[in-house]
Structure 1
């Protein structure tokens, strides 16, 4: 794996561990470059012969704030950019679900929107207890289309998933643990210790048995993602052209609440 070609994702090796750090300060939002790199990094990691376990985290105090607002405006101005974005989203989601190596997500701070989806598609999720997790696409006049409609109901059930995805409200990490959205929420001074427990288990475990157990578990989830992601992305593309989405992007830039009209 040529780690030198990744810039918005910092890649580090520690024995058979491959550490992926989202590194797009200050909020690790999904710029064009980070979006593009996420669409290839898990395929590359799958083929990497020098690693058996992956750790995903964010640089700084935020895991990922999700969508990049200026990029949203560019996609409104040039809808053709949505074509590339949608192709990359499918590669991100499918590469995560097809990855055989165990992936631990160290949620070091807020995981929002696409950032939350990225975390929740991992295998083990451990968050600092001050983190917030949520998908506020609807608050941006934008339908969810990055895989959250697939993974959230599988983790916490349809009713709870609708409560959060249709309102866009954020969930505290302790509530996320209680509802089953993540595995653990721990104090900051215990985060690395908890992560290390799972790293040690996977690095010292029966590699093939772990990989192929994960692959078997993910079979129905892969089928579900393939059955719904095209439609979810199509709906999101439609909302990209909506007046409400433009209003939300403009309101964010002007630091005010959006005034939605339903258009």
Structure 2
């Protein structure tokens, strides 16, 4: 894949800063099959791009990413074989983000939920709009939290806090997430670009090799954890995707009601 092949992402570079933008505003940048595939490739391409040193990841519209697209989730309920390829793609998204040598800023312009929370957590610095919310809500959709947040959350906030967040699917305000150390900076929406520009400008004027090697060294522990745990997590998520509770959750979301879980 090349940048010009993307239909769900845009990739632009200016002054050695590359911006990757999720481009599904009508669905709150929910991830469908095509976007999932593009996310698998984009970070490897950016890593090899000689024209940039800093990366910004953001979304179009009023959300960063609302997680998995409901129609895509339904397609995997209808045809479980579809999930097989998703396991490898999900692993490669997380691995490629954690292995990206260039520092990456999450410009969290709105809610980061489910897979959206994982994408944010895999960045190096998160700058969020004060109205944004953050949370891994997989269990609220009847799914195991398998796509990466379960690896990173305990590393960031400790096991007890991480387990509460993952087991309840609790949504945090940007300020609550900031207080936990999940978000670096929370600013009014009209100051988001200025804050991101300030940080990216400081990084792009810095000692590029020193910054890259520092990131590589600091991320080593996270990379090892992801390599060790992602197979198991994604296998359990695949198993839970065929549960009656997950099917009920998807129906309920579409019908705009609360799901009635039965434990099956």
TM-score range, shorter chain: over 0.9
Q: Distance in 1 between matches of 2:170 and 2:246?
A: 17
Give the equivalent residue in structure 1 for 2:49: 48
Deviations 1:135-172 (A, max 9, x none): 11101111110001011111111111111111111000
Normalised to the residue count of structure 1, the TM-score between the two structures is: 0.98
Q: Distance in 1 between matches of 2:101 and 2:239?
A: 34
Q: Distance in 2 between matches of 1:187 and 1:155?
A: 24
Give the equivalent residue in structure 1 for 2:133: 132
Q: CA deviation at 1:261?
A: 0.7
Give the equivalent residue in structure 2 for 1:59: 60
SS in 2 for 1:166: helix
- Point out the more displaced range, 95-104 or 149-158: 149-158
1:133-172 paired onto structure 2 within 5 Å: 133-172=134-173
- Is 1:223 equivalent to 2:229 in the alignment? no
Q: CA deviation at 1:25?
A: 2.3
1:176-215 paired onto structure 2 within 5 Å: 176-215=177-216
Give the equivalent residue in structure 2 for 1:121: 122
1:10-89 paired onto structure 2 within 5 Å: 10-26=10-26, 27-89=28-90
Gaps of 5+ in 1: none
Give the equivalent residue in structure 1 for 2:97: 96
Q: Distance in 1 between matches of 2:158 and 2:237?
A: 22
Q: Distance in 1 between matches of 2:79 and 2:173?
A: 36
Give the equivalent residue in structure 2 for 1:239: 240
Deviations 1:159-187 (A, max 9, x none): 11111111111000011111101111111
Give the equivalent residue in structure 2 for 1:3: 3
Q: CA deviation at 1:98?
A: 0.5
Q: Distance in 2 between matches of 1:77 and 1:227?
A: 30
Give the equivalent residue in structure 2 for 1:106: 107
Q: Distance in 2 between matches of 1:90 and 1:104?
A: 21
Gaps of 5+ in 2: none
Normalised to the residue count of structure 2, the TM-score between the two structures is: 0.98
Q: Distance in 2 between matches of 1:218 and 1:232?
A: 20
Q: CA deviation at 1:7?
A: 1.4
Q: Distance in 2 between matches of 1:112 and 1:203?
A: 29
Q: Distance in 1 between matches of 2:81 and 2:121?
A: 28
Deviations 1:50-70 (A, max 9, x none): 111101110011100011111
Q: CA deviation at 1:80?
A: 1.0
Q: Runs of 4+ in structure 1 displaced over 4 angstroms?
A: none
Q: CA deviation at 1:2?
A: 3.6
Aligned residues: 263
